[in-house]
Structure 1
């Protein structure tokens, strides 16, 4: 099985585990990632972009400075810009952020629900998937057929416009 197929398979079930959407950035480099997968509601992505919330987002800050997983409720103290509260207003009520790093690269992800807290087993499952995604994509060559297929898949998530394909 090629790496693109392996990677895309890791997205199976994410809609059910994270019903309010998710964002995954693989191999962070300064302010961008090798691959970005966004499946949040379109309205939230537009607000997040328009207000420049990435500059204040405590989930991003935590993910760059730490590894492991943290629930959004544990980040509220370090959210003076109110990003987490703004997310709640758009249906991302509970969330978890995960960061995985190797010596050469870091990947970040956030997952959201409309109200249910992520249990420890789900956090462990999501963490394992992020680690596998990071490992699978580590040595994919830019502009290779696999790279192009992954980028098309990532674009298809964003084009859906809202989580769950609506």
Structure 2
């Protein structure tokens, strides 16, 4: 619960600095982030998705080639599709991109607003928040045997009562194990916990 509170606080702080929204992909591995947080305007999200900009985005290219922080206006990455120009048309005129972590588990985040460039102090604050997000969302290295068994049985299709019977425990004890696994994996649902455990190669 403490991790979730810290995560929520970090995202709330990020939101106060970036009124036009932010996108954070944490621990990107094999081109896919383990988690994403996106508060950009829905019209921009729809346009970005429809145009398949994800693999052509200069902010993403910068994030994989550099560590640290940069204003969008200072990036020297080519933007042949005019993605940043189009973003400005949706109100995302001034932005900053942050990159943190090893290349094998990179966190890349961008924030935007329409009024003015971000100041150096604001960029330092944003960078600190993104770096913190990278740390607190670090995948666990393992689960307890009890957590693993509970997730495996539910993943195999057992209902709570059947899974509990197989483990020789009460249904409430099984639910407690699933709850602890969800917390450990920072998942909202058991299905999400199972998927994350698989992604982390813990199941």
CA RMSD, Structure 1 to Structure 2 (Å): 2.1
The answer on whether the counterparts of 2:62 and 2:77 sit within 8 Å (CA) in structure 1 is no
What pairs up with 1:41-120 in 2 under 5 angstroms? 41-75=41-75, 78-102=78-102, 104-120=104-120
Q: Is the 8 A contact 1:4 1:149 kept in 2?
A: no
Instruction: Supply the distance in 1 between the matched residues of 2:73 and 2:96 (Cα, whole angstroms).
Output: 9
Alpha-carbon distance between aligned partners in 2 of 1:29 and 1:139, rounded to the nearest angstrom = 12
Q: How many angstroms does 1:6 deviate by? A: 1.3
* 1:126 counterpart residue number: 126
Asked if 1:27 is matched to 2:66, the reply is: no
- Per the alignment, residue 182 of structure 2 pairs with 145
Distance 2:64 2:103 in 1: 13
Structure 1-normalised TM-score?
Answer: 0.83
Distance 1:93 1:109, change over 3 A: same
- Stretches of structure 2 that go unaligned for 5 or more consecutive residues are 144-150, 152-180, 190-203
Matched residues in 2 for 1:70 and 1:83: separation?
16
Q: Going by fraction, where is strand more abundant, 1 or 2? A: 1
Report deviation, 1:148: 1.5
Query: Does the 8 A contact of 1:76 with 1:84 survive in 2?
Result: no
Classify 1:137/1:78 alpha carbon distance in 2 versus 1 (closer, same or farther; 3 Å).
Answer: same
Aligned residues: 150
Contiguous gaps of at least 5 residues in structure 1 = 151-166
Q: Which has the larger helix fraction?
A: 2
SS at match of 1:11: helix
- Secondary structure (helix, strand or coil) at the match of 2:59 reads helix
Return the structure number with greater relative CO, CA threshold 8 A, min gap 6: 1
What do the CA deviations read for 1:36-83 (whole angstroms, capped 9, x no partner)? 000000000000000011121100000011101111112366111100
Q: Name which one, 1 or 2, has greater alpha-carbon Rg.
A: 2
